Structure 1
Amino acid sequence: MWESPGDENLVALQLAQLSALDRVMAIAEFDLGGVLIRANDNFLALLGFSRAQAVGRHHSSFCTPAFAASAEYQEFWPRLRGGQASGGVAERVRSDGSSCWLQATYTPVFDARGEIRHILKIATDITGRLRREQAQREHLRRLSLVADASSTAVVISDSESRIVYVNDGFSRMFGWQLDEIRGRAPIELLAPHTPQDFTEKYRAALRAGRLVEREEIVASKEGRRYWVKVFSNPVAGTPVAGTPVTGTSVDGGSRTDWGHTVTTLTDITRAKMHEVLQHRVLEAMVRESPLSEVLELICNEVERIAPEITASILGVSEEGRLQSLVGPHLPADYARQLDGIPIGPAVGSCGTAAWRNETVRVDDIATDALWKDHAHLVLPLGFVACWSTPIRNSQGRVVGTFAFYFKRPRVPAAELFHQLMVDACVHLCALALEREHTRQRIRQLAFYDGLTGLPNRSLLQAKADQAIAAASRSHDSLAVMFIDLDRFKQVNDSLGHPAGDELLRQIAHRLRQDLRATDIAGRLSGDEFVLVLPQCNADQATDRVERLLELLSSPVTVAGVALAASASVGIAMFPDDGRDMETLLHRADMAMYQAKSSGRGCFSFFSAEMNQLAQERLALETALRRAIQTRQLHLHYQPQIDLETGQLCGVEALARWTHPELGEISPARFIPLAEECGLVADLGHWALREACGQLSAWRAQGLAVPSVSVNLSPTSFHNLDLPRMIAATLESNALAPQDLTLELTESVLLDTNPSTMKTIAEVHARGIRLAMDDFGTGYSSLSYLRRLPVNELKLDRSFVADLENDATARALSAAILGIGKSLHLTVVAEGVETDAQNLLLREQGYPVAQGYLFSRPLDPQAFARWLEGATAQSTPAC
């Protein structure tokens, strides 16, 4: 490994030094870019440059132009910067343009951190005559000074494997002085466990004149370990002055003049620790290997590098308990006994290290107080010492411990070597644990609802498919329950969304309480939950849902308010109602809507009738979309009459639908459908354009129709472009803003869309009248009403219907009229059908009314005829 021939007398040493360090050793240092930064005189003389001429020149300027431009040379410096030494015979150009041939070795020089500092070139001139003996001694002295100043250890040994020279760098690294080790073999001294077959191959290579390169773990005088990069370079023997050197280059040919070996040893411990461990461990992570496999790889690598160590890695849970992860060469029983132990100030090395968040070294487990309660677990295994280091995540929290167990007392000189391993391994362990945490977090986000922790739709579907497949194989029944909270929107509107979220969390917690081991619970979205109950027939499902509704109805405290939660539940049964989750879920959803229409806090089983109704509804929705596109819809108009004069004050446009196959479809049926399927805004815009066009047409016919009222849903006011669209419609029909009244329902009061109030205000600002339809049946909040710029209130027909027989209805109608008058609003009574109702309304002072008493809603032609007849009997309209 580090041999060279020679004898022990002073003359032989001097001759070897002259030959090795003067004739052969021209030394230069290049920076990592290839620029010469230092050179000995031998190097300068060899190439014929002064120091001023040479220093600062690039290495390529010393090469032949052909070689400097070659692909081989382009790879030369990157290899050196990568830590790979190079050696061989090369042609170089002297300052006078002549060529010389050098036997050269280029060696990367590492600093204390394991990083390459510069490139050391050692060259031998094999083209010129031998220098005189005195010059050789002088250059030997200078080379020794350079070698002694280097942190790289240099050993010169003879052909009998006997050390004849070491530099100061060797003594500093390994602790031996030359007098202590002169004559000893380098391999036996530094690496006594090297196999014999390597030694034999090593000597054969040197005899053939080849550079030998190796990475090895060696030990110092005190037992301290180093991982070193070793270069052993054979040097020719000492010929008679003036006699040319015999032999060949490093091409593998034989040579007969092997005299000494110059060996350099560079400390690469830190870099090698990271390289060996990180390369294999990071490669395993890239392959997405399981956490246990990655951590076991770390332990095995540590034990391979340092056989005196038994490695172990424990996790630390968020609750502060140890979790056995890996310990490849620790007994499984011992690992199981550690699992679940709480960390603390005296819980062995690992539990204490996790508690303190700092490294804990125990050199005598039998006597150390930290192991008092746990020594009996480990001493029978033969371990006497344990060194544990906390593993921290990126936030600094302890997530695990990395421990070394020793069966013999630790050697203090080996502590630095062990510490370097710990530094490398703890970082890798942290990466592995962080990766595992991230994977679990991604899985949680991908398959679980972030608010309640229940499985989301994807995981629910997967688990349900498995349960249905199992039920199909075993011919069992299975129930799917679709749960929808009642009045959940009111909680969000009145208490805020954080309160709504807290209610959902508590509901999810109650659902978990009633689950069997085989049951599946999940959250779809909003306030919708699903239960899948294997091995559950209809009777059992009834028992479960009744118990569930009772559990959910218990008071819930949210934001300091006690709420009585309730839910509507729909149930579909496998296999009767469907054989796959998609079908069962859809039918349970339909059953839930049936339950909700029957009253809050109820449940309903799916039935074939529900499916038929759902199909009819879907067909009707499709037909309604087509009707809007193909103008199957039309408007009828109902007069609004001044009760004092009997004159026409305006008309209300009411949508009608005549289907080519189904005939007349009631507005009570298709208007709610339009709201549910998102068509109500389109329907309102169509009605607006149609009504304005009709008003313009009547006036063109000479009919005096004062204004037209059109119903718009709150959804229509989400469109900020609505005021412009209305203005354009009026202008295209030569109508004024006061010719149009837009009727709103009281649901607009609770519409939370930010565009609604802004759009309403702009419509009013353009001079278009606004009316509150069906007033008195909804929220009727005066504070909201005060904020809305309405011009008109319409008393709902339910009050008018009870006027004759209900004093309360009369009182309420009078109160609503009073509210209207106090706010300077016109109040219109709807649904007037009898003379008695008309009389009562007139007595109360209602100014305007509409209803069947005056006229049913009429198509445009029928209304024109009605108006002509009414005009003939009265004065012009108001």
Structure 2
Amino acid sequence: MGRLGPPVSALGTGDPSTADPLDPLAARDLAERLRTELAGWQGTPDLDLGAVLGQANVGLLHRDLRGRVISVNDRFCDLVGRTAEQLFGLHMSAFIHPDDLDRSQTRFQGHLARAEPFCTEARYVRPDGTFRLCEIHIAFVGAPGKVDSLVAVALDITAQRMAEQKLRESEEHYRNTVELAAQINWTADPTGRIIEVGPRWQQVTGLTLAETLGNGWVHALKERDVRPTLTAWKVALKTGTPIDIEYRVRMTSGGYRWFRSRAAPRFDDHGQILRWYGTLEDIDDRKQAEHALRESEERFRLAAHAAGLGIWDLDATRDHREWSDEFKDMLGLPRDTAATVETALSLVVPEDRHKLQALVEAVKAGDSAQRFEVLLRIRRADTGAERWMQTSGWRIEAPGKRLERVLVTVRDVTEERTAEHRIRWAANHDSLTELPNRGYFTEQLEAAIARAAAQDARLTLVLLDVDHLKETNDTIGHDAGDRLLQAFAQRLSEGLDGACVGRLGGDEFAAFLEVRYEAEAVERVSEALHSSRRSVLYEGIRLDCHATAGAATFPLDGKTAAELLKAADIALYHGKSRDRGRLSCFRSEMRNDMQRRSSMLAVARAVLRDDALLPFYQPKVALADERIVGFEALLRWRDATHGIQGPAALSAAFDDLELASLIAERMLDRICGDLRDWLDKGLDVGRVAVNLSPAEFRRADLFDRFMDRLRSAGIPPSMLELEVTETVFLGRSAEAVAGQLCAFHREGVRIALDDFGTGYASLTHLQAFPVDVIKIDRSFVADLSESSGNGAIVDAVIGLASRLGMEVVAEGIETRDQAAYLAAHGCVYGQGYLFGKAVSSSDVENMLRTRRSRQG
């Protein structure tokens, strides 16, 4: 087949800068002619299409159906951004936009079968990502079914489509601006006849454009507004000055609404009016509000008088001020006093004067909002008394945002302010001690930490607990406890004068000192603790006023309020457990002790939750023949990993009232169950000793809870022996402890004093409390040599117990020599590894049977 036209180089440059551009219609017409000629052309050699298309500034591509380029001009290469060599064999999908590809291929295949030329639009995508929108004319060379090549003529219509899009957007913008605008635009000729009006006019009034043009618009006005409106319009037409007038317009929905009409003329170079341009604005809501304001003004004045409000009225149009008589009375001024800003300013306290001055200046400048409020203090002109005044004002504006009037009401809120102050004080302070409460104290602490951080300074926080407050409440009464707290709060505040002191709740107080050196803070707190120890007299009873304190320093021990409170709390706990009545300063190792305690408490809770507590029983024997006469119930717990564990991992729980009580109740339930089982089997286990921690004696219902369980299980009280340590005899609760022990003793429960000689109890406690058994601590039994002195102590304890009619039990016996010594010196009973370790309840029966068979 012959080539279509001359070689590529002869088709012209196709350079848009050198070719004569065709307008879209001419280019499309040329492409149509080419398409027609190409559709009927069968390869005639003398058809010089290249020469024609090279001048047309359109793209031309001639290639066979396998994609080989026969001819292409530079303009087509420019449209697709590729050279002739790059186009060779390149499928149309490489340069047709993906969104246009399916449609283009479908049309191509449909027309190819019929060898029928067609026209389409598609985007040519260049390798750099840009694209050109083209009108493409395709002609096929050959008959239907025998097409061997095609000719594509591409006309760039990108700029044309963009121009059309902008025109549509501009028209839409204009339509929305006109149709959706709140105002109605209109124009008139130099004589005042309406020649254009916005479409909203017909929506509002129902008058068509034909009915409105000229002077037809007047028919929409309320009858009484026609004459003044036309008069003003004639003056404006005659003088050429802008017009601004208000009138009522009949609405399509019925009734009338107020509108504001404004217009200004446009002049030619000779000063003649060419056209009037105006707007019509619906102001009915504003007019109604103004009318309502005028109607209610008198009612407002009457209501203000009844409510005791003072009124300051400014007529900005006439620059006239008026004060109501009530307002003058508030200020302590005579009724004939002139209303001036200077007079008002002279009565405002200097610290608040700037508030009123700023308000006056803002009103003058038109900068204030339509509603404004300000609270300030004045001194009455007659008495000089300071009063709080709440002022509320309204700006009323005329058309054009011009200030017309300012109305201010003034109310004396001194009593309200005083009440609010009392409420705020109550919300931030403890009612009993009148010190800052926890929330307010924490706020003050956080502010002080921020100041210290900014100044690179130090701050010391102290937490304090009043010792034995619960015992005072329980034994004497809460009124006595309250009196103790009040006295301590007063003494602490006086001792730490200048520091912030607060009550965090219960018996817990706090203070922080903003001092340069920690030693200074420690000294001041220690002195305050010492000075607060004077007893407090309450209804003839002297109450001890002791407290324990823990301190932490910013930033060494914490950089936030929470961190500092935690550190001080750790120090306080350390002091309560080891150094009551003194100040303990935080040290890092204290945190480890607290963590160990927390871990123990967590383990104790887990043991209770898993019901893993169980008693083990160590035999107590008669030293003369090693006959078992009883057992001591010892706490054990079952660990899923390590098996049976001792009480050491739970020791902190015995100081916790709640956990100690729960553990004791669980142990007592187990012991009662075991005793009931042994009784049912006919076993004589003697007495079983049960240990009670000091924390359990803080429960007033200890006796009742204990005895209820014995009765429920049918256990004789004589089978139980309570072991207590000397610490329960000490402190303010000793009298209550004595009462509880006496109650147990009367029921037949024996009382044993454990670890005798290691505590701080005096010998008088042996007579003051119902003690039946003294247990010699294992530390004295371990070394009974003459050189140790323990033998003398043991001899003395045995002799003392014999004189007082008490039994003696020696603990920790591990050798025959120890047993022989004790028996020889009059000790009747003993227990220790020599006679048997603590065993489970199931092993007690075997132990008893084995011992009896051996002894029988």
Q: How does the TM-score come out when normalised to structure 2?
A: 0.46
Which structure would you say has the larger RCO, counting Cα contacts within 8 Å and 6 or more residues apart?
A: 1
- Find the structure with the greater CA-based Rg: 2
TM-score computed with the length of structure 1 as normaliser = 0.45
